[in-house]
Structure 1
Amino acid sequence: MTWSLPEPMLTVAVDSPALPTGWAAEPKWDGYRAQLAVHADRRVLLRSRQGTDMTASFPEIRTAALAQLPADTGLDGELVVWEQGGLAFERLQQRLARRGTGAAEAARQWPAHYVVFDLVHAGGELTGWPYEQRRAALEALFADQRLEAPLTLCPSTTDPAVARGWLEWTAAGLEGLCFKRLDEPYLRGARLWRK
């Protein structure tokens, strides 16, 4: 059965960093938004928010996806590069244009991590599920498959105090917070998440 990744759900800026009741908060990373798919034929696709294929630029993510993820899995997340205790967006930018041996060398110098914040496909389409259910399935995927770096589970909380504490991570490369309504499905291209 053929399937494709949904158009990414987007955010709209809000003035208050206070976590509303009925919503979850996640850190918003300084990286590249990307979706990752592993198809039944073990073909891997890592694509940007705009739909650009970035798979060849990040061979370590492709290798980890093949080794760790079950077939027919679709994820939404953020590509990041860590350097000296913080996120290095400029290193991530340098990685995009590289392919082949250049990409392999860049992966050794500045390895990327894929911080996963949503599960959009797992053998069947999940975008109609509410965030709370998708999040539980994502956490189960990480636990059951024993996923490890460079695949990383993004933290999520419904505790306003924890969310406020994450705002102190700005020195490490956190851009703020992303709020997702617990009962909200993944709506293709909709601007319903808040940042």
Structure 2
Amino acid sequence: MLATTVPDPALPPGWAGELKWDGFRALVSVDAGRVVLRSRRGTEMAPAFPEVVAGAAQLPDATALDGELVVWEEGRLAFERLQNRLQRRGAGAARAAAEWPVHFVAFDLLRLSGTDTRTWPYRRRRAALKSVFTARRLSAPWALCPSTTDSDMVREWLT
């Protein structure tokens, strides 16, 4: 699912709107303590973002999330800081994580405790994703992407 420009932000019945983030699209999965963090194109990104790998201990085992990696600077998204992080490894990645920490903004739940959720209706997946955040009390680097079915709210986001 990629962001799509539309001429009118009105949401058709059954649809939801989410914010567009200025970051890297990523998938994270946790299986028996092994964390995989990949770009939309399949590039392994875990070595560059050790804070996400460490934070995966907060997630249920056998779980996968779809989302966006972002860096905040002075209340704004800082894509250039994120770009600077991608090539760092080891001690360099750890220093960069301390200076410019990444957040994983989750917008979809692909697998939950071994159950493939991709065929579930959006509302069910969204409820399960919110439940994971609440039940596990997820904190940084995790952030839940705002979502709405209210066209007026989408218009407000665009202003």
Q: TM-score range by the shorter chain?
A: over 0.9
What TM-score does the superposition give when structure 1 sets the normalisation length? 0.78
Tell me which of the two structures has the higher relative contact order, counting C-alpha pairs closer than 8 angstroms and 6 or more residues apart: 1
- State the match for 2:97 in structure 1: 107
- State the match for 1:81 in structure 2: 71
Q: After superposition, give the CA deviation of every residue in 1:113-171 in whole Å (9 maximum; x if it has no partner).
A: 00000000012111010111100100011111111111000011111111111113xxx
Q: Is the 8 A contact 2:9 2:151 kept in 1?
A: no
Q: Is the 8 A contact 2:52 2:141 kept in 1?
A: yes
Does residue 92 (structure 1) correspond to residue 82 (structure 2)? The answer is yes
- State the match for 2:119 in structure 1: 128
CA distance in 2 between counterparts of 1:70 and 1:22 reads: 29
Displaced runs of 4 or more, over 4 A: none
CA distance in 1 between counterparts of 2:12 and 2:155 reads: 12
Query: What secondary structure is seen at the aligned counterpart in 1 of 2:16?
Result: strand
Amino acid across the alignment from 1:114 = F
Name the count of aligned residue pairs. Answer: 158
CA distance in 1 between counterparts of 2:12 and 2:23 reads: 25
Does residue 29 (structure 1) correspond to residue 21 (structure 2)? The answer is yes
**Gapped regions of structure 2 (runs ≥ 5):** none
Query: What secondary structure is seen at the aligned counterpart in 1 of 2:157?
Result: helix
- State the match for 1:38 in structure 2: 30
**Gapped regions of structure 1 (runs ≥ 5):** 1-8, 169-195
Map 1:33-182 to 2 at 5 A.
33-39=25-31, 41-66=32-57, 68-122=58-112, 123-168=114-159
Q: Percent identity?
A: 59
